[in-house]
Structure 1
Amino acid sequence: MIDKNIKLLRKKQNLSQERLAEKIGVSRQTVAKWEAGSSLPDVLSCAKLAECFDVSMEDLLHLDPALLALPQQKGKYIFGSVTVQKDGSVSLPARARKQFAIKPGDDLLLIGDTDRGLALVNVDFFLEGYQSLKAKNNK
């Protein structure tokens, strides 16, 4: 799966094999072998690839290429998969926390739709929207 992910992520960023190789400090032939599945990147190369593509190493290695291939709209993100722990907790990927400036202690509202799934929303944003709708309906 990593071979397909490397190729897909490289193309998504409009990088040639040569340019990707330069960015992570390997030869173009090495990148070609990874993409062909005839060899695998070592751990240090995986870390450099993940950083270059702005994905986690877990997603670089295991994320379904079909998810990576989805077209991304401006302001919309796929941050990868998370695992629900035995106590019900989940850990948000660092990239998601950074993108949305989520800090320890921040309050997030978990909302759900049986047809669409779950989402986390900033509590203040949700309350502002609710107050705005309420004011509109009272006019």
Structure 2
Amino acid sequence: MELQTILKQKRNELQLTQEEVAEKIHVSRQTISNWENGRNLPDLSSLILISEIYAVSLDELIKGAPKMVKQLDKKIKKGHYFIGVSILSSLFIALTLSYLVSPGELSAAILFFGTIIIVFLLALLLMLMGILSILKTVQDNR
């Protein structure tokens, strides 16, 4: 059974309105409607609350949403790829900068630690950008 069918069926069995479920999950009534009509998918935190309200296992809900599983897999793979590219890009930039700076003007230790700090800050910035994009995606699904 598909997730949208499970959501609507369980809500009707418990004789709850979309508004009542929305209040318990802390989303809008329109969000519940979108989930039940298959326009959007709930995020993981919402699924946990849904499983508690409807007394349904997460396993049952997730099995009813193969599309959601594929989306989560894509996001995870995209995140791993993004982090890897971020670190490699940061290393490349840091090494390029260290090459451009003349070793005669700075001691090797300062240059080395400066390069490490630049790599760390760039990687941190890129990871923060990745986290913000994931949060935006989660917000858009609500």
Q: TM-score, normalised by structure 2?
A: 0.43
Higher CA-based Rg: 2
Q: Which has the higher helix share?
A: 2
RCO greater where, 1 or 2, for CA within 8 Å and sep 6 or more?
2
Say which structure is richer in strand. 1
- Give the alignment's TM-score, normalised by structure 1: 0.44
